[in-house]
Structure 1
Amino acid sequence: MTRFASGLVVGKFAPLHCGHERLINAALAQCDRVWLISYSQPEMPGCEPEKRERWLRERFPQCEIVVLTPERVASWGLGALPHNDAPGDQHRHYMADLCLQVLNCCPQAVFTAEDYGDGFARVLCERFAQPVVHVRLQREQGAQAPSGTLIRSDVHRWRQMLSPSVYRDFVQRICLLGGESTGKSTLSAALAQALETVYVAEYGRERWEEKGGELAYDDLLIIAQTQVRREDAALAARWLVCDTSPLTTLFYTLEMFGKAPDELYTLAERHYHWVVLCEDDFPFVQDGTRQDETFRQRQQAWYVDQLTQRGIPFLRVRGSVNQRVAQILTALRG
């Protein structure tokens, strides 16, 4: 196996899939230093530059990663990004300009799984005035060979082609909110079953039990942080049901202590694709940990006020558990 001081892998990585990862790992096995360049003009929905950069940095932190955007290349004094359908040589010379004018590198090898790699290596060889080798990997054949086009057609069907950290960005989080004794936890489990996915239980109660029913000010931030970590670690398919959110933790922090740390306010801004508010349309049930009916009413009003102020659309559900599940399914599929 030939060794190179540096190698180059260029792609849209929209999304980053197992075929890309195989190619990058091959470059890492043969090169002391690997440059990963990602760009797409136009961008592919769901594969925005910040996501692609995060995917690459999480999966290949040892590489030199550059994700190009119109704003970024303009700040470097480069011309506009070539359109995806532009002639091949336009892309090749653009990459040469990037390497010479911005990155100050002249990779000795380019790694591809496509025929275009020969022409790419030829242009770089001319521009760098040094040999550039095209290392081509055989691409998997067949209708189900990994490709961005195939995966984008139904990312959930082809999720086995994506690492969990990449697929996570395509899972839609459903957040359930509601005051005490509004059936939120029961609905979380029932909804997850109906959607054939998993749910993340409320960590606050678990922490409350660990601390013997006495929560300190610092505990509340830990609750929100842990809730978010558990959501991010959940192995869900298409949907992830979240029994509460950091917004709930913010409410309890303000109720208990009259203030909240800045980080908790930031966590309370966490995005959920769907927000569901469980109505308090059945009698309050005291389980030994809850306060009272007036507290539930105040909490419900706070949620409505906060969601409205923040411009967050939300779905109100009422009735039995089955009725609530049906209302949510109708909204999701509507």
Structure 2
Amino acid sequence: MSAKPLFTNALVIGKFYPPHAGHRHLIETAAAGAAHVCVLVQGSRFESLAAAQRADWLGEEFDGGNVTVIPVRNDCPEDYASDEIWMAQQENMRLALKVHGVTRVDAVYTSEGYGDRLAAAFGAVHIPVDPGRQKHPVSGTKCRGGLAGQWQQILPAARRGLAVRVIVVGAESTGTTTLSEALTAHYRRQLPALQDVPEHGRHYTYEKLEALQSQNPDATVEDLVWTDTDFGIIATRQTALEQAAAEAAPLVIADTDALATTLWERYYLGDGSYGSYDALTHLPRRDVYLLTDHNGVDFEDDGWREGEHRRPEMTEWFKETLTEEGHSWILLTGSRERRLATATAVIDAMLTQQNTFAAPAWSAPTVLPVAA
């Protein structure tokens, strides 16, 4: 039998910019001590990530528990010496709680020096949680100072949301796999945890053929019968591989995706088949699609391909679909070296942008204690 919570309503506040393991420990501690925990995610117009986005990430982490995550717009300056600013900050929090039905707070959980004063403002008890950052020596400042080095400290949902996602697509034998592998090798030198995200459809084809050959040893790839269910499985698994890669490193380079799978389903089964389309409802945010052009690329028949004459049509399908869906896409032409140079130029710029976090002029960095 679990112990009765010490408090009814607990409060946790923060920027969660981005949410990390220390934040999770703070909220988990509050959730263990109170029947209900309100987490106020305070976001400013001067910051790069919206409060609603950070709240969504935290909400996913604590979904189904006794934690309510509330995004709050707060553009008020920070000045711990000013009673007037303290009043403005306090009222911002009080009203955020009030409109969500919380009119009394029994405990305030923080890891900050202002915890006593904040708790007193609410007539609540202050519960300090790891103020010396011994259990989790991480801060939002440290994360923003270098995402790659702190990636595993950031919460999984935030990692999936922050990762730069580069999707390589194209018709058969246009160099998509060659480019994906070259990009992965290039960026793995600076991001050792970067994962391969191969084309699951090819792996699935191998498995499907092996299963058929267990019944008919003479069967070939031409004997395979494709169904909408097959493409649904491929699309779902492709997204899962991509999500796992996003949790591993701040850059994802994927050799195709679920959106491309819908085009291959159309290619093989016609316009009336939609087995893979459900996967599009779970398609993660995209940064850019790199579309490999068929022009100037010799068709290499490796025994699994059959569509040299349809490459122009397939390339046009990709252009149309990516444009209709509003995605950023770049057509890669020229030599392998030229294509790689174009790709790395845009990815480098995206990684620089990813590591640039805006902050208001009054924002003070969190300085972690020096380990003894």
Contact in 2 for aligned 1:41/1:84 (Cα 8 Å): no
Note the C-alpha offset of 1:109: 0.6
Contact in 2 for aligned 1:178/1:303 (Cα 8 Å): yes
CA distance in 2 between partners of 1:319 and 1:257 (Å): 31
In structure 2, relative to structure 1, the CA distance for the partners of 1:262 and 1:10 (3 Å cut) is farther
1:216 to 2:227 alignment: yes
1:278 to 2:280 alignment: no
1:253 to 2:270 alignment: no
Higher mean C-alpha displacement, 242-251 vs 312-321 = 312-321
Contact in 2 for aligned 1:217/1:253 (Cα 8 Å): yes
CA distance in 2 between partners of 1:179 and 1:11 (Å): 47
Q: TM-score, normalised by structure 1?
A: 0.83
CA distance in 1 between partners of 2:288 and 2:95 (Å): 44
The match for 2:128 among 121, 129, 136 is 136
| CA-to-aligned-CA distance 1:97-138 (integer Å, 9 cap, x gap) | 33345323523110111222222212211xxxxxx1011134
Secondary structure of the equivalent of 1:200? coil
Contact in 2 for aligned 1:208/1:215 (Cα 8 Å): no
**Partner residue of 1:194?**
186
Matches within 5 A, 1:1-334: 3-42=6-45, 44-45=47-48, 47-61=49-63, 62-69=65-72, 81=74, 83-85=76-78, 87-125=85-123, 132-140=124-132, 145-196=137-188, 197-212=194-209, 213-234=224-245, 235-255=247-267, 256-261=269-274, 264=277, 267=280, 271-280=285-294, 281-334=296-349
Percent identity, aligned pairs only, is: 27
CA distance in 2 between partners of 1:217 and 1:311 (Å): 25
Secondary structure of the equivalent of 1:199? coil
Note the C-alpha offset of 1:159: 2.1
Note the C-alpha offset of 1:178: 0.9
| CA-to-aligned-CA distance 1:232-275 (integer Å, 9 cap, x gap) | 12244231111012222111222313224397177187532121
Secondary structure of the equivalent of 1:102? coil
Bigger relative contact order, structure 1 or 2 (CA pairs below 8 A, ≥6 apart) = 2
Contact in 2 for aligned 1:16/1:166 (Cα 8 Å): yes
* Matched residue type, 1:203: H
In structure 2, relative to structure 1, the CA distance for the partners of 1:271 and 1:167 (3 Å cut) is closer
CA distance in 1 between partners of 2:179 and 2:131 (Å): 46
Contact in 2 for aligned 1:37/1:66 (Cα 8 Å): yes
CA distance in 2 between partners of 1:100 and 1:172 (Å): 37
Note the C-alpha offset of 1:155: 2.2
In structure 2, relative to structure 1, the CA distance for the partners of 1:95 and 1:277 (3 Å cut) is same
CA distance in 2 between partners of 1:185 and 1:211 (Å): 21
Note the C-alpha offset of 1:276: 0.8
CA distance in 1 between partners of 2:330 and 2:133 (Å): 45
* Matched residue type, 2:272: K
* Matched residue type, 2:251: W
In structure 2, relative to structure 1, the CA distance for the partners of 1:56 and 1:29 (3 Å cut) is same
CA distance in 2 between partners of 1:173 and 1:232 (Å): 10
* Matched residue type, 2:339: R
Higher mean C-alpha displacement, 27-36 vs 236-245 = 27-36
CA distance in 2 between partners of 1:218 and 1:194 (Å): 36
Contact in 2 for aligned 1:221/1:264 (Cα 8 Å): yes
Provide the alpha-carbon RMSD of the alignment: 2.8
Note the C-alpha offset of 1:187: 2.0
Contact in 2 for aligned 1:92/1:123 (Cα 8 Å): yes
In structure 2, relative to structure 1, the CA distance for the partners of 1:330 and 1:19 (3 Å cut) is same
Contact in 1 for aligned 2:107/2:119 (Cα 8 Å): yes
In structure 2, relative to structure 1, the CA distance for the partners of 1:208 and 1:136 (3 Å cut) is same
- In structure 2, stretches of 5+ residues that fail to align are 80-84, 189-193, 210-223, 350-372
**Partner residue of 1:75?**
none
CA distance in 1 between partners of 2:200 and 2:103 (Å): 49
CA distance in 1 between partners of 2:163 and 2:242 (Å): 11
CA distance in 1 between partners of 2:51 and 2:235 (Å): 28
In structure 2, relative to structure 1, the CA distance for the partners of 1:279 and 1:101 (3 Å cut) is closer
CA distance in 1 between partners of 2:327 and 2:99 (Å): 44
Note the C-alpha offset of 1:169: 1.9
Contact in 1 for aligned 2:322/2:328 (Cα 8 Å): yes
CA distance in 1 between partners of 2:159 and 2:132 (Å): 21
